[in-house]
A and B are shown apart, each in its own frame.
Chain A
Amino acid sequence: MTPPRLPLSRQPLRLIHDRIATGLITAGGIGVLLAILAIGVFLVWETLPLLAFGDALSLNTLSPLAWGTLKAALAAMLFATPIALGAAMYSALFMSPRLRSRVKPILELMEAIPGVVVGFIAGLLLAPWVERHLASTLLVIVWLPLSAALAGSLWYLASARLRQCLPLSWAGIWLMPWLAMMATLALWLAPLMEQAWFGGDLRRMLDQQYGLDYATRNALIVGIAMGFAVIPSIYSLAEDALADVPANLMEGAQALGASRWQALWKVALPTAGPGVFSAVMIGAGRAVGETMIVLMASGNTALFSASPFEGLRSLSASIAIELPEASPGGITYHLLIFAALALFIFTFLVNTLAEVVRQRLRQRYQRLGGNR
């Protein structure tokens, strides 16, 4: 194809257009980046007047909130990390590729479910239900992993034909009815066990023997609800890291006689370790900043207590509740902006760390001869 011949007189105009456009794009791009930068600058600037008020006051008001934030995040991570990493390991290395291409997008869609909806279900449905059935809930949490192991043992005992019908690579699907059945069984058994071991009412026993109060909306509920919201982000990143482990490493390990699990545990996990770590970090960043779920599921009582059955109040929830009413320029206003700054710095640092680790990992895979 020959380049179109333009009259000479139009040439400079094109060049001028090009200059102007490049200048505009540069200005726009830098402007947008500066606007983003302005968030940090604004938060720091509005926190500065706090120095004039003295710091003793701010520490006293903010420390229970900071504690609440950490407690909520910890509860969520305790619930989410094992499930998300287990799911990532399974779907990266054990699942059949066809199933994986379906299941992964579905689990990633979980992330899109708005926090308000999760918080509403947790605060208005789950919380009262768990209050009435505390023993059942705890039993289900303990019982489900055990029943999965039971399913595994039964599978090894089963006949070869049955094993072919229900292969491990599809276990993510066919374990669902089994686990639902086991959960129902646990719910049915729980009242009997509560009668036998805890004198009929676990909550009363906790209160009388250990002095543990039980609040309807507590850290346990927040942990489950926010864990549900955090699972997809951890899962997605950890799964990417594990699935990108160069295939020749795994094949080498298995050729040397390692079982699949040993190859995963001894080769894939150490190689992908940084990626898995950064996935957990990003999950933690998300758990610390999540607002609506904590606001709706936690009872919002600013307490210093480590009990999982008591309420909490997080930094983000206090900002959402108090900032609209705080008068601009007052001490509450500056304090809440300081809280926002703390959240900003924390999540920014955590995410940067995770991102740097991920980039290192990508380079390592390239050195090891991965397909990327």
Chain B
Amino acid sequence: MRWLSRPLGTRAMGSLLWPWLCAASVAVSLLMLATLLTLLATRGLGHFWPASLEEVTLHSGETVIGQPVREAPLPNAAGMERLYFTGNRDIDGTRWRWVAIDDIAEKSVPDEIVRLERTPWGDFIGRLSSVERAGERLEGDAAWAFVTTALALPDSQRPEAQLHLTTANGQRVIQPLSGVTLFQTPNAMSWVQKTAAWSQRIWQFLSEGPRAANTGGGVWPAIFGTVLMVILMSVIVTPFGVLAAIYLNEIAHQNRLTRLVRIGVRNLAGVPSIVYGVFGLGVFVYGIGGSIDSWFFEEALPSPTFGTGGLLWASLTLALLTLPVVIVATEEGLARIPDAQREGAVALGATRLEMLTRVVLPMATPAMLTGVILAVARAAGEVAPLMLVGVAKLAPQMPVDGEFPYLHLERKFMHLGYHLFDTAFHGEDVQAAIPLVFATALLLVLIVLVLNLTAIFLRHYLRRQRGNEC
């Protein structure tokens, strides 16, 4: 009660309370970060969990089968309504259904409801009535057993068959078995089965291409494109960045000009990425790419070969963008090496080249590695410049294939970040694509965070191993 017994002026009160506001801003930042990551993790991973499907009978007699998504207040009346994901876009024309909660007469969770994923129409939710195989008709348990064994086989060995399905309102649908990619009865599954199905679907997401206008399937081409672009970029940026850093720190005379150049390089790290994109489009794509086209690919003109965005130009642009990161990190590493080491090497008769390659560079390796990893992390998350120099919504061909010359530098490629942007903002059914967008976002954040953490730990570990002087 010290505070109450002694009258305090407003200024003293302020100096007591301000620290708390400052502490709160740390707490708020951490809270925002935690919220963002939790949101991404739950929504991104939760989508793959086989959610139970409800069968709802309305007062009007209509039945709806679907997965409850969320609830919201009714727009013009009291009460709530619930959004169901009902699938069956080929039959109903939509995948969603709002149901007012007061309209619901009966709700149940029957075990025999199936959920199919099929090409081309996406999800089907309903019941399996029978299976027709080579004129023979299987019903009941036989049908179930047949479907489960058939789907366990790889695509090429599956038998020809037709599934006879019934929707919630009794409409019959015939679905060839060859178009089915997933067959689930989520209500009948145990925890173990659900976990197995969950990990299988995550694997599908990572290893397959997008389907059904990005509302199904996976992101494998985007992962591949991102990784390939980043590898090419680091192959370009590492030697040049290291070269420039060695020149600035070891060879150039340390005068006013070098200091200015150093400040300039440092500042380039702060120049907006879109400016690099503009440079890449103007110089690499239209300038160099246009010239290459008119020299070597004249027969293909006016359709451009290198004169349009592509893998090579994207990697070059991002290499330029991340050059300052590598230069600054390497320079810091070089500056931390004591001059005694260099003088010692030279005193023992080494030339400058030998001093650099045998003494200085090995000591600066952790710094260089850190720089490259940070550059990779920055490049993996950067989207704006790519929109100008070569990313594609849906690349028809992968940039690497069996055709000569195997690596096609002029092809457009898919990128995780751009895939996310495109699906979320230009998709035809954004609502249905959002869960996959969350999963993509989670993947992107994980990649970038893991790269950054690797850089931090690598720096820490190597510094400790080599002692404090480097």
Contact = CB atoms under 8 A, between A and B. Distances in A.
A201 interface: no
Contacts of A285: 270
30 contacts: A1-B348, A25-B246, A29-B247, A83-B25, A86-B25, A103-B26, A107-B33, A109-B452, A112-B448, A116-B383, A116-B441, A117-B445, A118-B36, A121-B36, A121-B441, A144-B24, A147-B24, A148-B21, A152-B19, A156-B3, A168-B20, A178-B27, A179-B31, A228-B36, A286-B270, A320-B274, A324-B281, A343-B275, A348-B271, A352-B264
A137 B190 CA distance: 41
Interface string A154-170: 01110000000000100
What 7 A-B pairs are tightest by C-beta distance, nearest first? A29-B247, A289-B272, A114-B381, A152-B20, A148-B24, A86-B25, A90-B22
Contact of B383 (A114, A168, A261, A340): A114
Given A39-B279, A343-B274, A152 B27 contact: no
A245 interface: no
Given A22-B251, A351-B270, A148 B382 contact: no
Nearest to B268: A36
Contacts of B434: 124
B26 A95 contact: yes
B274 A25 contact: no
A212 interface: no
A291 B353 contact: no
B272 A290 contact: yes
A149 B29 CA distance: 17
B320 A36 contact: yes
Most A C-beta atoms less than 10 A away, residue of B16, B25, B39, B354: B25
A367 interface: no
A48 to B, nearest CB: 13
A47 to B, nearest CB: 11
Contacts of B240: 28, 32
B233 interface: no
B243 interface: yes
Contacts of A350: 270
Given A29-B244, A86-B21, A173-B27, 19 more contacts: A22-B352, A22-B353, A46-B282, A107-B33, A112-B381, A112-B448, A113-B445, A113-B449, A117-B420, A125-B39, A152-B16, A176-B30, A179-B31, A262-B15, A286-B270, A320-B277, A320-B388, A343-B272, A347-B272
Contacts of A231: 29
B465 interface: no
Nearest to A120: B424
Contacts of A138: none
B438 to A, nearest CB: 9
Given A22-B251, A112-B377, A347 B278 contact: no
A176 B276 CA distance: 39
Contact of A149 (B21, B283, B380, B388): B21
A29 B248 contact: yes
A91 B25 CA distance: 10
Interface of B: 1-4, 15-34, 36, 39-40, 240-241, 243-244, 246-248, 250-252, 261, 263-268, 270-279, 281-283, 286, 309, 320, 323-324, 327, 348-349, 351-354, 356, 377-378, 380-384, 387-388, 417-418, 420-421, 424-425, 430, 434, 437, 441, 444-445, 448-449, 452-453, 456
Given A292-B383, A292-B384, A107 B30 contact: yes
Interface residues of A, number: 110
A94 interface: yes
A288 interface: yes
Most A C-beta atoms less than 10 A away, residue of B22, B39, B387: B22
A163 to B, nearest CB: 11
A265 B21 CA distance: 14
Most A C-beta atoms less than 10 A away, residue of B248, B250, B349, B421: B421
Interface string A101-144: 00101110110111111111101110000000000000000001
A180 to B, nearest CB: 6
B441 A117 contact: yes
A186 interface: no
Most B C-beta atoms less than 10 A away, residue of A17, A29, A38, A107: A29
A347 B272 CA distance: 8
Contact of B243 (A29, A121, A348): A29
A123 B272 contact: no
A9 to B, nearest CB: 16
A179 B24 contact: yes
B366 to A, nearest CB: 17
Contacts of B25: 82-87, 90
Contact of B20 (A15, A39, A120, A155): A155
Nearest to A235: B29
Given A86-B22, A112-B381, A351-B270, A3 B351 contact: no
B16 A156 contact: yes
A216 B274 CA distance: 25
Contacts of B327: 32
B424 A289 contact: no
Given A28-B243, A36-B320, A87 B251 contact: no
B23 A172 contact: yes
B425 A94 contact: no
B388 A26 contact: no
Contact of B283 (A21, A42, A86, A148): A42
Contacts of B456: 105
Contacts of B40: 117, 121
A157 B39 CA distance: 36
Contacts of B441: 116-117, 120-121
A91 B353 CA distance: 45
A70 interface: no
Given A116-B417, A124-B424, A145 B452 contact: no
Contact of B272 (A4, A151, A265, A291): A291
Nearest to B327: A32
Contacts of B2: 156
Contact of A352 (B18, B251, B263): B263
A177 to B, nearest CB: 9
A50 interface: no
Most B C-beta atoms less than 10 A away, residue of A105, A114, A144, A337: A114
Contacts of A330: none
A91 B387 CA distance: 38
A110 B28 CA distance: 13
Contacts of A149: 17, 20-21
Contacts of A15: 351
A200 to B, nearest CB: 13
Contact of A179 (B27, B39, B352, B417): B27
Nearest to A23: B251
A117 B29 contact: no
Contacts of A118: 36
A178 B261 CA distance: 49
A153 B17 CA distance: 7
Given A291-B274, A319-B274, A343-B272, A38 B283 contact: yes
A30 B351 CA distance: 22
Contacts of A235: 29
A145 B21 contact: yes
